[in-house]
Amino acid sequence: MTRFIAPSILAADFANLGRDIEMVNASEADWFHLDIMDGVFVPNISFGLPVVNAVKKLAKKPLDVHLMIVEPEKYLSRFRDAGADILTVHIETCRHLHRTIEEIKELGMKAGVTLNPHTPAESLQEIISFVDMVLIMSVNPGFGGQQFIETAYDKIRRVESLIRESGTKAMIEVDGGVNLDNAAKLFASGVNILVVGTSVFQANDPRGMIHQLKESGQVKDHRLT
């Protein structure tokens, strides 16, 4: 079973971003996770294409880009050009989700779909066969450092069931409130990728924290599957 760790750049020290990127490069982490917020779909603004491009120049691991924006279909090729390897869009923002997923793939990226905490797993029924990844938000999106929403475990199980029934190889990613207290349980519940922010970047030993998170899930490598 694929099990990855994806540190979230949103929680990095932007005054020392190059240093934090190098830390992730040197660590046992698998992907870089980049949250793009527009202040419209979510109540916060993060960063955009120039930062993605800057991270790509230094990163030695794939960029997992999560678009928390309205009308994401307008920017797919621009995020590809900036360096995204995996591009994830919200089911809540896409008017023509199947078309958007197909375009992401045609642009040469892995395609993911995200569910907010209030969005039921069953909304994936008609798209699950076409995506490479499902991102389950275990906090309300917009800010880091929030508490994990416990009902996410039930959603994980339902998404895993949909994936199994569809016969696809889609992976499950979880973002929000992930730390050492729940990492092992999340992996055991069927999660493949853990997005970790403050628990890594605010740790006294970030690389050591990444190692501990990986040990909890026995993660081995960072290859895209």
Q: Which of 30, 35, 64, 132 is catalytic?
A: 35
Residue 37: its H or E element: strand 32-37
Distance from chain centroid for Cα 46: 15
Instruction: Kindly report the number of other CB atoms within 10 A of residue 219's CB atom.
Output: 23
- What phi and psi values does residue 128 have, to the nearest 5 degrees? -60, -30
126 neighbors 27 (Cβ within 8 angstroms): no
Tell me if 168 sits within 8 A of 192, measured CB to CB: no
64 belongs to the catalytic site: no
- What are the CA-CA distances from residue 193 to residues 6, 49, 95, 204 (Å)? 7, 24, 27, 23
What is the rounded distance in angstroms from the CA atom of residue 193 to the CA atom of residue 225?
A: 12
Residue 113, token pair as written in the block: 């779909």
DSSP 8-state symbol, 121 = G
35 noted as active-site residue:
yes
Separation CA 97–CA 89 (nearest Å): 9
The residues that are catalytic are: 35, 175
